[in-house]
Structure 1
Amino acid sequence: MNTPLLAPFASRAVAMLPDKGVPDLLFLLLHGAGADAAQMRPLAQALRAQYPQAAVLALNAPLTVDGGQQWYSLDGCNDDNHAERVTAALPAFIATVRSWAAQWELPWQQVALGGFSQGAVLALEAVQAEAQLAGRVLAFAGAYATPPAQAPHEVSLHILHGQLDPVLPHQDQVTAARRLVQLGADITADVLPDIGHELHPELIERAMHQLRSFLPARMWKEAMQAAKEQKLD
């Protein structure tokens, strides 16, 4: 089911909703700069197939640029001002995430963000800046605007990158992932060969696998503690 919807931070959205009943999960998908929501359709379709009771929304960014939309302006953007531009875009984006979750009364743990390129930057930085915004992030061909100083609280991060990406080199994301592991984050990082800066089917397939199989460390700890207490009883 595809229906145009409106949100505070998006002019329109590509929506895939459950055939019946209320959504039990929400995936918000964020395209790259110069594209639009249609870019995220392959990921939306994969999520729809794996989670038929989820609401999957691919949003359009609010700013117009030649050929498409962008989440924050790249005109004159450089290493010195990039982080500032991302930070300035976050409040409106965070409000949009909460607005969509409230539409179906979903708790933040049942919200996931999936972004490509600039959309991945925004998703990664949003959960760093705002606690209890989303439970998972799928970051395709993205990067951190600011090196992470702490692990996001109870968020599972899935980094997916092509080894041949000439736009946002995978080495930066590998470094960030290693740092987040040291900080105690629940994170996976997949770098696949022969893939450039693209939302490649193999990356999407790997993301679906991680969503199915990844168990956060905190859940292991809770299970072990429960087993220990049961043994003591």
Structure 2
Amino acid sequence: MTHVLARLPDHGELDLLFLLFHGVGATADSMAVLAQRLAQEYPQAAVLCVDAPDEFDAAAGRGGRQWFSIQGITDDNRAARVAAALPRFVATVRALQMRFAMAWPRTALFGFSQGAIMALEAAQAEPELAGRVIAFSGRYAALPDHAPRDTCVHLLHGLDDTVVPHGPAVAAARQLVALGADVTADVLPQVGHELDPRLIERAIDQLRTFLPQRTWRAAFEAAPVQSTAASSKDLGR
């Protein structure tokens, strides 16, 4: 699998690793607008747009790529196709983490459409793969049956998306909340199946403001333990 390096910091050490995964029939170049915005907001991040491994089989010779084939895809066979594609996807993430010496909590996976499906399912299947998954116009192949430990999931969708309707994403968010996951879901009106600037800005807001459960847990663990026993002097006697 090839990848396109969008940006490295001009100076100083890397602090974050952002991996961007495109939709079916597209290429890494299609994620450029998101990559540029992330690089602007996070100058110490390595921002990489990753090409899918296979040629788009619905339009051979046109340069598009795919994570899995959508020829004859149905709700019944989608999960199997995603599962078959996951090992290469996960291996790519792990290889890039090793290349840039970046631990999984400081890695974020950004996916659009089919790339979002892969990122969401990879975080479900592979423990400690990424600290955050930001899914634009995507969905799970099947409703999650467990919460990905210490991974924040941010679902972003257009209300007018007719390619991947927002309903499955909303249902998945409700399921993840019930399972105790760190999850947000934003559905914006007058947005279709696209990396709309409003969705990108909402994603940036979530990255800035949403505190993961692991952050709270670390803060409580680091806090000094104080005795709750009261003396007679404390009680005013």
**Contact 1:22–1:104, Cα closer than 8 Å, also in 2:** no
Q: Alpha-carbon deviations, 1:157-211, whole Å to 9, x = none?
A: 1100000110111111111101101101001110000001111000000000100
For residues 17-56 of structure 1, what are the structure 2 equivalents within 5 Å? 17-56=8-47
Q: 1:181 aligns with which of 168, 177, 183?
A: 177
* Aligned match of 1:109: 105
Of 139, 150, 164 in structure 2, the residue corresponding to residue 154 of structure 1 is: 150
Alignment of structure 1 residues 1-233 onto 2, 5 Å: 9-10=1-2, 12-65=3-56, 66=59, 67=62, 68-224=64-220, 226-227=222-223, 229-230=225-226
Deviation at 1:76, TM superposition (A): 1.8
Q: CA deviation at 1:218?
A: 3.7
Retained in 1: the 8 A contact 2:117–2:140? yes
- Deviates most, 16-25 or 105-114: 16-25
**Contact conserved, 1:17 with 1:53, CA < 8 A, in 2?**
yes
Q: How far off its partner does 1:39 sit?
A: 1.1
**Worse overlay, 72-81 or 194-203:** 72-81
Cα displacement (A) at 1:125: 0.1
| Cross-structure match for 2:233 | none
**What residue identity is the alignment partner of 1:36?**
T
Contact persistence 2:35–2:48 (CA under 8 A): yes
Say which SS state the counterpart of residue 225 (structure 2) adopts: helix
Aligned residue pairs, count = 224
Q: Residue type matched to 1:137 in 2?
A: V
Deviations 1:34-55 (A, max 9, x none): 1111111111011101110110
CA drift of 1:217 comes to 2.9
Distance 2:175 2:47 in 1: 30
Please give the alpha-carbon distance, in whole angstroms, between the structure 2 residues aligned to 1:230 and 1:104. 41
Tell me if the contact between 2:150 and 2:213 (Cα under 8 Å) persists in the aligned partners.
no
Highest CA radius of gyration, 1 or 2?
Answer: 2
Contact persistence 2:16–2:107 (CA under 8 A) = yes
**Is contact 1:156-1:186 (8 Å) kept?**
yes
2:232 matched residue in structure 1: none
- Which whole-Å CA distance do the structure 2 matches of 1:219 and 1:109 have between them? 11
How far apart, in 2, do the equivalents of 1:222 and 1:64 lie?
A: 44
TM-fit CA distance, 1:113? 0.3
Q: In structure 2, what residue type is equivalent to 1:209?
A: D
CA RMSD of aligned residues (A): 1.6
Q: Distance in 2 between matches of 1:118 and 1:88?
A: 14
| Aligned residues with identical type, % of pairs | 56
Which residue in the other structure is 1:3 paired with?
Answer: none
Deviates more, 1:16-25 or 1:84-93: 16-25
Structure 1 residue ranges without an equivalent (≥5): 1-8
Q: What amino acid is the match of 1:34?
A: G
Shift of 1:60: 0.9
TM (norm. structure 1) is 0.91
TM norm structure 2: 0.90
Structure 1 distance, partners of 2:137, 2:152, is 17
- Matched residue SS, 1:134: coil
